[in-house]
A and B are shown apart, each in its own frame.
Chain A
Amino acid sequence: MSVLIFAELDEGKLRKSSQEAIFYGAKVAEQLGTSATAIVIGQADESELATAGRFGATNVLHASDAKLNEPNGMAYATVVAAAAQQEGTKVIVLAKSSLADAMAARLVGKLRAGLAANVVELPDLSNGFRVKRSIYTGKAFAFTDLTADVKILAIKKNTITVEESDATASVDTFSPALNDSDFGIAVKSTDKATGDVLLPEADFVVSAGRGLKGPENWGIVEGLAKALHAATACSKPVSDLDWRPHSEHVGQTGLKISPNLYIACGISGAIQHLAGVNSSKVIVVINKDPEAPFFKSADYGIVGDVFDVLPRLTKAVQAL
């Protein structure tokens, strides 16, 4: 009956977003009067897996078959479905990511489970099973009743404030049968930035637009990001022009993020850009045009030239 949380690894460590998913899942388990089990797939040390206990999981199922070393949404769905069956799970929780989204959709088909994506609060169990989720790219919320026997909740970043305890989780090896048909996609190469703060997971984001004039000027954006331990992001024209990689593009047709702090530099604030960032907790806008629409959606604003303001902000952060 336990609540099952799909916890993702990044280089052998539990992802920050997965810690939040575990904490959220443990709270749902409390509501339902049951316990929380995390399913982790891939290579990781037992001591690392036991840290799932800090966020509220009592048990971790660890699937470490070498065939699962490459992230694979289909094969992972097979593993999670087997875990759900073993545990008699009715509620599965995960944090949105490219892998988790692919996995969750396949699970819907396998288990005929109702999936709510972009969940922003704990469920309301007073009358069935109701969740609040973000729709229209952050422009509204829908209250959704999950009517199927098995329910999957894909949570957005910053849905719940995580508290840690000093508990540890027990770790069990989990070795379900795998399907050959899940391994039809061959990964030829991976090209991934390492060492940087991952944008979807970042608490702080420094983002820049066409106001930066050209890719050669990104040093001042990276400088502030580095001082804050922030990730960098950009507007759509900036990635269209190849000034920055596509994976940094936020907005309607890019990533949707909800960090604690979003600093927008030389971005006008078009509605399609706002759609991707408007659920950030605090928004700072720096623009030389006092009429820039972004100021209407900001918490703090500076009318000024980014080439002057950014280096000064970086110094002020370094002085903290």
Chain B
Amino acid sequence: MKILVCVTSVPDTTTKITFTDNNTKFNKAGVQFITGPYDDYALARAVELKEKLGGTVTVLNVGEADTEPVIRKCLAIGADDAIRVNADPTDAFFVAEQIAAIAKENKYDLILMGRESIDYNGGQVHGIVGELLGMPSISPVMQLDIDGDTARIVREIEGGKESLEAKLPLVLGCQEPIAEWKIPNMRGIMTARTKPLKVVEPTSKDTLTNVSGYELPAPRGNVKMIPADQVETLIQLLRTEAKVI
């Protein structure tokens, strides 16, 4: 089983987002970067599958050199080797083309991604990669088991879930509870230092979208507190003041 896991390096979920240069640049000052939480689920399941079925797990990131701590952490969690495509991941199509180029060269049985990145929340890279490779793509995957060349999958749908079966190779966007997040142990951290991390240059430069600036949401007004002995007035206020019911 040859598995590719695509990971993002994103601001920690507790980060307060701000911008600089007249709202044209994300302010990285003081921001802690982590593996995308959904990518972490994908990686955890990939490592479990490798332990069960044998094979290799390769981690791939499209990003500049500052994403390497996140890549090393993925190696510490149990990936065997890593590839970094040295480029600013400006656009989902651009990222998908890099991933597809590497997948064409290396022929993976499974390409696991997160359901969505938590910076741009596009949820599109897996589908684009699937289309570029002519492979089925499925997202969001909550359960994944492999039986020979068949994948048994549970996918979330509105208000419930669906059980699916498909033949490998596949591209999957993952989410909980596919596996528990893994924390690297000391031995993992030591061996990660010597695992191969290959840096390659992008093979194409096409983008289809371009961000021109950012804005922060307007703050909510002050909260109106309703005394606990008059909770019924809330319903009146929702009707007459907020006008939502």
The answer to whether B215 touches A320 (Cβ under 8 A) is no
Please tell me which one of the listed residues B92, B159, B215, B231 contacts residue A140 in the complex, with CB atoms under 8 A apart: B215
A67 to B163, CA, bound (A): 18
How far apart are A23's CB and chain B's nearest CB, in angstroms?
Answer: 20
How far apart are A75's CB and chain B's nearest CB, in angstroms?
Answer: 11
A275 to B12, CA, bound (A): 12
The answer to whether B119 touches A296 (Cβ under 8 A) is no
With contact pairs A98-B140, A313-B231 given, residues A117 and B122 touching in the complex (Cβ less than 8 Å) = yes
The size class of the interface chain A forms with chain B is: 35 or more
Q: State the main secondary structure of chain A at its contact with B.
A: mixed
Within A206-245, the residues touching B (CB, 8 Å) are 228, 240, 245
Interface 9-residue window, one of A35-43, A52-60, A169-177, A193-201: A193-201
Q: With CB as the reference atom, state the residue of chain A lying closest to B127.
A: A105
Please tell me which one of the listed residues A191, A304, A317 contacts residue B228 in the complex, with CB atoms under 8 A apart: A304
A98 to B131, CA, bound (A): 17
The answer to whether A299 touches B220 (Cβ under 8 A) is yes
Residues of chain B at interface, number, CB under 8 A: 78
Chain B residues whose CB sits within 8 angstroms of the CB of A142 once the complex forms: 120, 211, 213-215
The answer to whether B17 touches A140 (Cβ under 8 A) is yes
* Nearest 6 interchain pairs by C-beta: A105-B127, A109-B131, A192-B160, A114-B208, A148-B208, A105-B124
The answer to whether B231 touches A304 (Cβ under 8 A) is yes
The answer to whether A253 touches B175 (Cβ under 8 A) is yes
How far apart are A47's CB and chain B's nearest CB, in angstroms?
Answer: 25
Is A284 an interface position by the 8 A CB rule? yes
Interface 9-residue window, one of A25-33, A84-92, A160-168, A179-187: A179-187
Give 27 A-B contacts (CB < 8 Å), ordered by A residue: A74-B130, A98-B158, A109-B131, A109-B132, A112-B206, A115-B92, A136-B11, A139-B16, A140-B19, A141-B215, A142-B214, A143-B212, A185-B138, A194-B159, A199-B159, A240-B177, A246-B142, A252-B13, A256-B121, A284-B234, A297-B220, A298-B223, A300-B238, A301-B226, A304-B228, A313-B235, A320-B239
